[in-house]
Amino acid sequence: MVTFDAAVVQTATAFGDGSREENIASAYRYAEEAARRGAAIACFPETFPGAWRMPVTWTPLQALREIAREAGTYIVGGYAEPLRMDEGSRCYNTVALIGPDGKDVGFYRRTTPAHAPWIYKGGDYWDFDWVPASELPVFETDLGKIGLLICSEVYAPELARILALKGAELILIPTGVMPSTTRLFDTWRTLTWARAIENLAYTAICSNITSRGEQGLAMICSPEGIVLESREEGVHIGPVDVARVRWLREEQDRLTDDPEPWGTKPGALRDWRRRAVLDANPVLTQVQDPPLSFAEVSQSTSREIDQRSPHL
């Protein structure tokens, strides 16, 4: 499948007593709506449907599997994943990608920043001892190659670049809270599209709505434009054209008759590189001359990344 509809779900997220049952019930309803409206994949926000706070004694993984199977769509859901269930305090911040058959496609566990985000310990929403992971996987699906990041990792360009060089065509970045009143709103919005432009990939984000009347940020971006943007709670659906991404990655920038056949610089992952940057950051990739196709570059790059740093 090279074109499909994706849903970014901006959830009305519950906290406190009864939130586990309420959020899982909401996840079923949101997924059913996304599937009914034709979405092939539905992305929930960071750590939705939970758990969020210590002691973490459960995960929604089995529920997410059932939701995906009943809806017949890919589901992306998040939760605090305890290293030891009997302890329930030290946790990964985990995003699960579940297939429409209800089987696990894969997991991403937040890797940055180097120190624990302050918001995960003793905050109004999260309260657990965050443990950073180290792997940056890309998942092969019938929708294309999917990469995952979490929340403010949109500010780390290396992460999205590594996923793209490993072949990711859609990068989903479920976000915690993004009220439109925060001073970070404009930069967050800008970087979501920037990650799509510079990596010739689609990016998508969505956030939890934590109180009545609050607004968040849901977006789907292509390398050539903002496909969808909403601040409202609910299921927001937009098209993803993986065939266009593959075409842009294989094309070469050149003079053309007006109007140009593209709205961004094609071939960027293959051609627009500086040797000094690569030498200083060898994990990113190697440049080969003559230039290979992007598919060949991606295959060799993924091998090199894994060889140089087996945890990425």
Tell me the per-residue pLDDT of 209-241, one tens digit each, with 9 for 90 and over. Answer: 988 778 899 999 999 999 999 999 999 999 999
Q: Are residues 187 and 267 in the same domain?
A: no
Residue 207 confidence (pLDDT) above 60:
yes
**Confidence band, pLDDT 50/70/90 cuts, at residue 278:** low
Q: Which domain holds residue 138?
A: 3-245
Q: Amino acid identity of 39? A: A
Of 217, 245, 273, the one marking the end of a domain is 245
Average pLDDT, the chain: 88
Q: Mean pLDDT across the stretch 94-104?
A: 98
Q: Strand, helix or coil at 60?
A: coil
**pTM higher than the cut 0.75:** yes
Q: Mean pLDDT across the stretch 247-258?
A: 88
pLDDT score for 301: 56
Using a pLDDT cut of 90, give the percent of the chain over it.
66
Using a pLDDT cut of 70, give the percent of the chain over it.
86
Give me the phi and psi of 270, to 5 degrees please.
Answer: -100, -40
Residue 297: CA atoms inside 13 Å, Cβ hemisphere, count? 25
Q: Are residues 181 and 303 in the same domain?
A: no
Residue appearing with tokens 């566990």: 109
What pairing do the DSSP bridges indicate for beta strands 138-141 and 90-98? unpaired
The answer to which of 11-25, 115-129, 160-174 has the lowest mean pLDDT is 115-129
Q: Are residues 161 and 200 in the same domain?
A: yes
Cα-based torsion angle of the residue sequence 255, 256, 261, 263 in order, rounded to the nearest 10 degrees: 40
Q: Mean pLDDT across the stretch 69-85?
A: 95
Give me the phi and psi of 61, to 5 degrees please.
Answer: -60, -45
Q: Mean pLDDT across the stretch 83-105?
A: 92
**Sheet with 225-230, side-by-side order of all strands:** 138-141, 144-148, 170-174, 202-206, 218-222, 225-230
Number of domains in the chain: 2
Work out the number of other CB atoms within 10 angstroms of the CB of residue 53. Answer: 21
pLDDT score for 282: 57
Question: Shortest CA distance to 4 belongs to which of 77, 74, 66, 98?
Answer: 74
Residue 32 confidence (pLDDT) above 70:
yes
Q: Are residues 290 and 191 in the same domain?
A: no
Containing 61, the helix (H) or strand (E) segment is helix 61-71
Q: Are residues 192 and 292 in the same domain?
A: no
**Confidence band, pLDDT 50/70/90 cuts, at residue 180:** confident
Highest mean pLDDT among 29-33, 129-133, 270-274, 281-285: 29-33
pLDDT score for 9: 98
Q: Mean pLDDT across the stretch 273-280?
A: 66
pLDDT score for 295: 66
Q: Are residues 74 and 208 in the same domain?
A: yes
Tell me the per-residue pLDDT of 280-303, one tens digit each, with 9 for 90 and over. Answer: 665 554 433 434 565 665 665 565
Of 228, 245, 262, the one marking the end of a domain is 245
Q: Are residues 205 and 262 in the same domain?
A: no
Q: Mean pLDDT across the stretch 9-37?
A: 96
In degrees, rounded to 5, the angle at the alpha carbon of residue 70 between the alpha carbons of residues 85 and 77 is 40
Q: Are residues 148 and 26 in the same domain?
A: yes
Q: Mean pLDDT across the stretch 129-149?
A: 96
pLDDT score for 172: 98
Q: Are residues 121 and 181 in the same domain?
A: yes
